[in-house]
Structure 1
């Protein structure tokens, strides 16, 4: 299945807002509508829509400026509940890492997630993110280095 990251635009932002998580996952991540609003006020945030075989399947957002841990942060990654388990999130993160590697002096990518989000923990671990024990509020932060 062909996975692509495309910009969030006037044509697809509402469809991004309509993507849904499972009931169990909803406490782990802000709704996409919140992320889209946040990006409107923070110009360093970059949003991407995840497409699989030309169908919108997910949403992600990252910061194009370095932050804590001297890294660029992935703020959001979600795949609609109807498309989970098909490897879309894994491939989207691989594509995102390639995109983020082009940022100035990109050596470290950081993602934070709720410690009870075992799916995220497994996904990021399989992709080479390492847990060095960093914690920010309720979230654990794992790092990927190029």
Structure 2
């Protein structure tokens, strides 16, 4: 697969519904909110930035991050998912890199934080591959990992 064909497109009238129809695999459902919930959240929290993840122009995933610093003095990743039919192809990894690139452009960007359930081994492997470190921070049922740059 050519990962150069992975792009992030701001959520808009043309792709929001496609994002709502995307599904993770059955074993991942317990780890992530639906994209519809995330999209609704972005309408009430204007600092959240939602994106469609596209591969060759087709919407195959969704991600969202905050554009203001929050807990632990960093920018938080709220959601990142790839549809079950497109997992295992490197799309999530490329989209994560593109997201990190976008967050690094924000004012005083020196730290990115993402929370996920400790049993979500796929998320753990993905974030560890980008240098996110578990410093022991916990928020409810989720652990928070940090990438500093």
Cα distance in 1, alignment partners of residues 130 and 91 from structure 2: 13
Cα deviations by residue, 1:24-79 (Å, 9 ceiling, x for unpaired): 10110100000000000000000010011111110000000100010000000000
* 89, 104, 122: which one aligns with 1:86: 89
SS at match of 1:21: coil
* 44, 53, 72: which one aligns with 1:50: 53
Q: Are 1:64 and 2:47 an aligned pair?
A: no
For 2:142, the equivalent position in structure 1 comes to: 139
Task: Give me the TM-score of the superposition, normalised by structure 1.
Answer: 0.98
Cα distance in 1, alignment partners of residues 132 and 51 from structure 2: 21
In structure 1, the gaps of 5 or more residues are none
- Deviating 4+ runs (over 4 angstroms): none
Displacement, 1:127? Answer: 1.1
For 1:13, the equivalent position in structure 2 comes to: 16
How many residue pairs get aligned? The number is 146
SS at match of 2:85: helix
Task: Give me the TM-score of the superposition, normalised by structure 2.
Answer: 0.97
Cα distance in 2, alignment partners of residues 101 and 135 from structure 1: 24
For 1:35, the equivalent position in structure 2 comes to: 38
- The alignment yields a C-alpha RMSD, in angstroms, of 0.6
* 85, 90, 106: which one aligns with 2:109: 106
